[in-house]
């Protein structure tokens, strides 16, 4: 085996270089004791607006011994529903078919195979009503022309972004004030903001309402009270303290 002969000066130089690299590596490692204190808080901004749109859906459910008969009857009644919706002044852009299905129906008996009893057809159309005062009358019209499944209403604000911007400003102000409170209680103060993140805005979920027959309805139009819509925005902020 061949041996390398190192001069004493070379050995000293190599040792010095290794020591320098080790000290440089140690200098680059952060010192947890000197890390800045960071405070993270979350806050919510909320504004209320009177809704200007109400969303609802009307559908027709039919049953018949055969699939063709169930679909034919469903189509006849659903055409009447859509025609009534158009006559009520609902624009085409605010009418959308959202569900169309045909399913076999069975009767189940113990220790026997299922017995086919017929077919059920279902067709549903979603509507956006821009004159909320007409919503109750429209619901009555849907039932009178053959709709036997109605869901809603879901009240919305069409120009919601401006209201959400107001909620964002409120959320940031609340988060800042809360951070200053915590910092003061800890004997510190805010140096700067290090991060801001936003959560989704809140839109109210639909409130279920079911109608199944004209006989269940009073002579007056179905009452629809819009109230107010609350729009929320959540903000999370991080602050460096000193």
Domain ranges of the chain: 37-48+161-201+237-241, 51-156
Q: Which 3 state secondary structure label does DSSP give 121?
A: strand
User: For every residue of 37-90, which 3-state class applies, written as one string?
Assistant: EEEEEEEEEEEEECCCEEEEEEEEEEEECCHHHHHHHHHHHHHHHHHHHHHCCC
At residue 66, does pLDDT exceed 70? Answer: yes
**Strand spans (E) along 65-199:** 95-107, 115-129, 149-156, 190-198
pLDDT value of residue 153: 87
pLDDT value of residue 225: 83
pLDDT value of residue 35: 80
> How far apart are the C-alpha atoms of 181 and 190, rounded to whole Å?
10
pTM: 0.64
The average pLDDT across 60-69 equals 96
Average pLDDT, the chain: 82
Cβ contact 206:55 at 8 Å: yes
In this predicted structure, which of 54-68, 112-126, 133-147, 174-188 has the lowest mean pLDDT? Answer: 133-147
At residue 7, does pLDDT exceed 60? Answer: no
pLDDT digits (tens, 9 = 90+) for 193-239: 999 999 866 555 444 444 433 434 446 678 888 888 889 999 999 99
Nearest by Cα to 154 from 231, 45, 229, 46: 229
- Residues recorded for the chain: 242
Percent of the chain predicted with pLDDT > 90: 60
At residue 48, does pLDDT exceed 50? Answer: yes
At residue 64, does pLDDT exceed 60? Answer: yes
* Phi, psi angles (nearest 5°) of residue 72: -65, -45
> Which CATH architecture group holds 51-156?
2-Layer Sandwich (3.30)
The 8-class DSSP code of residue 36 comes to P
At residue 14, does pLDDT exceed 60? Answer: no
pLDDT value of residue 237: 95
pLDDT digits (tens, 9 = 90+) for 99-126: 899 999 999 999 889 999 999 999 999 9
């Amino acid at each position: 085996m061949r041996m390398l002969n190192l001069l004493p000066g070379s050995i000293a130089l190599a040792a010095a270089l290794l020591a320098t690299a080790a000290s440089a590596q140690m200098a680059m490692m952060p010192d947890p004791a000197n890390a800045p204190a960071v405070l993270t808080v979350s806050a919510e901004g909320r504004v209320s607006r009177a809704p200007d749109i109400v969303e609802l859906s009307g559908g027709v459910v039919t049953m018949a011994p055969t699939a063709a008969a169930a679909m034919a009857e469903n189509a006849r009644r659903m055409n009447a529903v859509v025609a009534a919706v158009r006559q009520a002044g609902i624009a085409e852009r605010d009418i959308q078919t959202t569900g169309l299905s045909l399913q076999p129906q069975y009767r189940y008996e113990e220790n026997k195979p299922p017995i086919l009893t017929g077919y059920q057809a279902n067709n549903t159309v979603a509507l956006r009503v821009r004159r909320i005062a007409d919503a109750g009358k429209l619901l009555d019209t849907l039932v009178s022309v053959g709709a036997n499944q109605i869901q809603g209403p879901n009240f919305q604000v069409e120009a919601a972004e401006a209201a959400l911007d107001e909620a964002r400003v409120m959320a940031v102000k609340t988060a800042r004030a809360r951070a200053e409170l915590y910092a003061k209680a800890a004997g510190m103060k805010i140096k700067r903001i290090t991060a801001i993140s936003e959560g989704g805005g809140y839109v109210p979920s639909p409130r279920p309402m079911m109608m199944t027959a004209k006989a269940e309805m009073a002579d007056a139009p179905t009452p629809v009270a819009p109230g107010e819509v609350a729009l929320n925005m959540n903000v999370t902020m991080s602050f460096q303290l000193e």
